[in-house]
Structure 1
Amino acid sequence: MHAPDDFSNGAGDQPPRHILTPSTLNRLVRGLLEDALPLVWIEGELSNVARPASGHLYFTLKDNAAQVRCAMFKPKSSCLRFKPADGMQVLVRARVGLYEPRGEFQLVAEHMEPAGEGALQREFERLKAQLDAEGLFAQDHKRPLPRFARRIGVITSATGAAIHDVLSVLGRRWPLVDVDVLPVPVQGHEAPPAIVSMLRKATACGRYDVLLLSRGGGSLEDLWAFNDERVARAIHASQVPVVSAVGHEIDFSIADFVADLRAPTPSAAAELLVPDVRAQQRHLDQMRQRIMAIQERRLQQRIQRIDHLLARLQSQRPQARLAHDRERLLHLHRRLLGARIAQLNQLKARLDRVHAHLLSQHPRQQLALLRQRLEQHAQHLRRLVEHKLERERLTLQQTARALHAVSPLATLERGYAILFDAEGKVLRSVQTVTVDTPLRARLADGELPLRVSDK
């Protein structure tokens, strides 16, 4: 391999054309490293872990054959979800670089997690999506918890801190509940089958109103028994409501999604499972006061009704009824007497009016009045008759003159005659008669019989 011409020595004793300084060389090496390996994932064992006051994290990552120095600066190191310690197996995402002050090759870490946790997280997401698609997380499969549970089965480690917290909260909030600790391992390969077996036994015995599946906090690997598919299906198949309280508030497991209720912590689960005895006592006191108030009100209503019925009963006694009827009879008698007196007064007033009317209608007075009226009517009638006769006489004279003016008799007096046939009809044409037809002639002073002799 040949060096570039700019960095090679000349022939013979000629001095080199360019001389590099250590800092320049380090910059060149760092540039080559960063360009060739911009970002890498490395798994190894932690050693020489140090966190000075600056907040940066310095450590060595090694395996059986080699080691490399690493640094994680404060913005990144503050976001770690675990505390790095010597001997831990971790997975690091880092940039390859060069620490120029000492000319040492190093890694600048941007992310760190316990080795194996990334694979577990991917497996967690895969199983979660599968069970969700099958409907194991559906809300319509969630069973309601009993309001007052009499027996609770706690499936957890008998030696863990979680059971002590649960028993303490249950004993403080609701001492009446019976709690059975159903011990199972909560970590390791033997945990899932043990949990599944205990869930089936607790469901089959029919003793418990609700089951609590619980354990304390830990890493994803520590909690992995509660992400097992067998445990999830056993929870879904349980005939008894199941409450899941696994890890801390920020931890979520597959059991949390399948269970009928997820509690953030074991202590919170215990508070959700049973009511608060003090709150129930206050509620009972309020209900007792309400019942007493209702009873008092109803008692007062009953007393008032009894008083009313007693008054009615006293009013229905024979003596009281006789006294009441006597009063009523006297009242009616007074009303009848007043009515008779009023009726007599009305009759007397009517009789007085009739008597006055009869006096005004006496025959002597009537005869005098009638005689006077008759004389008046007779005089008036004579005047009317005379006046009418005079008018009729004048009318008759006028009519007689008019009739005489148009009468045929007046025409006959002037020498004319009227011919009649045998039937008394006026003869109007010579065509209506024949020879020897008898006729009559009407003259002014009489009639003459005639006969047609020749036409």
Structure 2
Amino acid sequence: MATSELIYSVSELNREAKRLLASHFMTVRVEGEVSNFSAPSSGHWYFTLKDAQAQVRCAMFRGQQQRLGFRPGNGDRVIASAQVSLYEPRGDYQLVVEHLEQAGDGALRQAFEKLKTKLLNEGLFDESRKQPIPLIPRKIGVITSPSGAAIHDILTVLKRRFPVVPILIYPVAVQGESAKFEIQAALETANRRKDADVIILARGGGSLEDLWAFNEEIVARAIAGSHIPVISGIGHEVDFTIADFVADLRAPTPSAAAEHAVPNQAEWLGGFRFMENQLIEKLRRQLSQHRQRLNWLEKALQIQHPGERLQRNAQRLDELEQRLNKAMQLTLKQNQHRLTLGSQKLKQFQPIDKIAQHQQQLQYLQQRLQRAMDLKLVTLKRQQAGISQTLQAVSPLSTLERGYAIVQQHDTSKIVKAAADVALDTLIDTRLAKGRIVSQVKEIIRD
């Protein structure tokens, strides 16, 4: 039949076109930007893929979506694996999408998540393997670009917080294909030379592609293998890289990494001043306590001194003498009173014959009283002399006067009672009745 005689219905034409497209194209991969994205209640996705010059309609059915790890949105760049087809009711040419993957940053993020999962399963992110950051490092190593803003920020913070710590810079590229190798080499060099106590790995902010050197597996393993603690300060606070997860400490920015690397000298100086004041106050309290104890010991020594005991006994003797005089006066008054009463009675009864007798008796009693008083005074004086002699006999000064000496250790003032109490070549003090002698032990004879 001639072509001019073949007449298609619209349905037949669309069906043939669909069959022709399906037979001519196998699965194709198309890259473009998502637009007009919609997800109706059926669960299917409908969107358009476009580039600068053209666009094509796409459909992705619900069953194919389960294998995806993301949900596309308008503006996303994706790579679609699809069958070329035609939607017969409208005669629209379209792609029936079987799989989607992110293009550009999306691919990088997929690679990021894949490596992150791999290293996480290997334990490279475990807190147990992370090394502590030294409190005050003797030297700090900085791995970064020598011309970027990050090195200026780091040096400024280190100078402000703790300027005495030396800084060793390892210049590396932080972007581009060679960056990961240079960073790895710098880490290995620092560990081989043992140049620093802590390493700051840093760069300024940028896109995911700009920061990609710090998401490379070779860099992650170099950080994990470092015997020197590593602080990462990459990008801005919202940026996370694989290096951040592996590093011993992650800082949100290069400046923050520098702050974590050294203490604040102002806080330390303030702490030192506080401790100095506490130490001074404690020493003052101890000196006051020792001074009080010394005063107490001096008073206790004065109380136990033989001179003090003699003084107390002399005072006691004076007290007894006063009591004796009062007793004697009282006795005299009593006798005088009795005498007065007797005289009155005598005058009352006029006993003339007994006056001489009473006078003799009175004289006799007065003599006895006087002798008793003299005897009591002699007895008390003898007791006083005996007590004085006893005190003088037990006094260490009397012992020294008889030619004896008191030997003490020169350093501790401890009394030496036996030859075993001293050692050769030590100094001893020998106290005599007058003065003392400092000598050195040259021979020890143990009897």
TM-score (norm 2): 0.51
Distance 1:333 1:231 in 2: 107
Q: Which residue of 2 aligns with 1:126?
A: 114
Whether 2:228 is the aligned partner of 1:240: answer yes
Distance 1:173 1:41 in 2: 56
Q: 2:201 aligns with which of 213, 231, 239?
A: 213
Whether 2:177 is the aligned partner of 1:175: answer no
Distance 1:299 1:252 in 2: 58
Q: Which residue of 2 aligns with 1:268?
A: 256
Q: Structure 1 residues 239 and 331, CA, compared in 2 at 3 Å: closer, same or farther?
A: farther
CA distances 1:208-246 after superposition (whole Å, capped 9, x unpaired): 110011111111111111111111111111111111111
Q: Which residue of 2 aligns with 1:314?
A: 302
Distance 1:319 1:161 in 2: 87
Distance 2:143 2:189 in 1: 11
Listed as ranges, the gaps of 5+ residues in structure 2 are: 1-6, 12-27, 35-48, 58-74, 81-92, 94-100, 323-447
Q: C-alpha displacement at 1:115, in angstroms?
A: 4.3
Q: 1:231 aligns with which of 219, 225, 234?
A: 219
Q: Structure 1 residues 319 and 258, CA, compared in 2 at 3 Å: closer, same or farther?
A: same
Q: C-alpha displacement at 1:4, in angstroms?
A: 5.2
Q: C-alpha displacement at 1:152, in angstroms?
A: 0.6
For residue 243 of structure 1, give the secondary structure of its aligned residue in structure 2: strand
Question: Does structure 2 conserve the Cα–Cα contact (< 8 Å) formed by 1:150 and 1:176?
Answer: no
CA distances 1:106-133 after superposition (whole Å, capped 9, x unpaired): xxxxxxx994211111111111111111
For residue 146 of structure 1, give the secondary structure of its aligned residue in structure 2: coil
Q: C-alpha displacement at 1:263, in angstroms?
A: 0.7
For residue 148 of structure 1, give the secondary structure of its aligned residue in structure 2: coil
Distance 1:173 1:154 in 2: 16
Distance 1:291 1:186 in 2: 50
Q: Structure 1 residues 324 and 137, CA, compared in 2 at 3 Å: closer, same or farther?
A: farther
Q: C-alpha displacement at 1:141, in angstroms?
A: 0.5
For residue 154 of structure 2, give the secondary structure of its aligned residue in structure 1: helix
Question: Structure 1: which amino acid aligns with 2:237?
Answer: E
Question: Structure 1: which amino acid aligns with 2:106?
Answer: G
Whether 2:188 is the aligned partner of 1:190: answer no
Distance 1:182 1:331 in 2: 97
Distance 1:177 1:319 in 2: 68
Question: Structure 1: which amino acid aligns with 2:226?
Answer: S
Distance 1:41 1:325 in 2: 124
Question: Does structure 2 conserve the Cα–Cα contact (< 8 Å) formed by 1:41 and 1:91?
Answer: no
Distance 2:206 2:102 in 1: 12
Q: C-alpha displacement at 1:318, in angstroms?
A: 3.1
Question: Does structure 2 conserve the Cα–Cα contact (< 8 Å) formed by 1:153 and 1:210?
Answer: yes
Question: Structure 1: which amino acid aligns with 2:299?
Answer: A
Counterparts of residues 376-395 of structure 1 (less than 5 Å)? none
- How many equivalent residue pairs? 275
For residue 189 of structure 1, give the secondary structure of its aligned residue in structure 2: coil
Q: C-alpha displacement at 1:313, in angstroms?
A: 3.0
Q: C-alpha displacement at 1:267, in angstroms?
A: 1.0
Q: 2:105 aligns with which of 114, 117, 129?
A: 117
Whether 2:287 is the aligned partner of 1:299: answer yes
**Structure 1 residue runs of 4 or more that deviate by more than 3 Å after TM superposition:** 1-5, 40-46, 60-63, 66-70, 89-93, 324-334
Question: Structure 2: which amino acid aligns with 1:216?
Answer: G
Counterparts of residues 334-345 of structure 1 (less than 5 Å)? none
Question: Structure 2: which amino acid aligns with 1:161?
Answer: A
Q: Which residue of 2 aligns with 1:414?
A: none
Question: Structure 1: which amino acid aligns with 2:219?
Answer: V
TM-score (norm 1): 0.50
Distance 2:202 2:270 in 1: 30
Q: Which residue of 2 aligns with 1:356?
A: none
Whether 2:240 is the aligned partner of 1:252: answer yes
Q: Which residue of 1 aligns with 2:43?
A: none
Distance 2:130 2:171 in 1: 25
Distance 1:333 1:236 in 2: 100
Q: Which residue of 2 aligns with 1:147?
A: 135
Question: Does structure 2 conserve the Cα–Cα contact (< 8 Å) formed by 1:213 and 1:242?
Answer: yes
Q: Which residue of 2 aligns with 1:453?
A: none
Q: C-alpha displacement at 1:312, in angstroms?
A: 2.5
Task: State which structure, 1 or 2, has the greater radius of gyration over its C-alpha atoms.
Answer: 1
Q: 2:146 aligns with which of 136, 158, 166?
A: 158
CA distances 1:262-292 after superposition (whole Å, capped 9, x unpaired): 1111111111111112222222222122112
Distance 1:230 1:203 in 2: 16
Q: C-alpha displacement at 1:325, in angstroms?
A: 5.5
Q: Structure 1 residues 321 and 246, CA, compared in 2 at 3 Å: closer, same or farther?
A: same
Q: C-alpha displacement at 1:333, in angstroms?
A: 12
Distance 1:222 1:284 in 2: 44
Q: C-alpha displacement at 1:316, in angstroms?
A: 3.7
Distance 2:249 2:156 in 1: 21
Listed as ranges, the gaps of 5+ residues in structure 1 are: 6-39, 47-59, 71-83, 94-104, 106-112, 335-455
Q: Structure 1 residues 270 and 318, CA, compared in 2 at 3 Å: closer, same or farther?
A: same
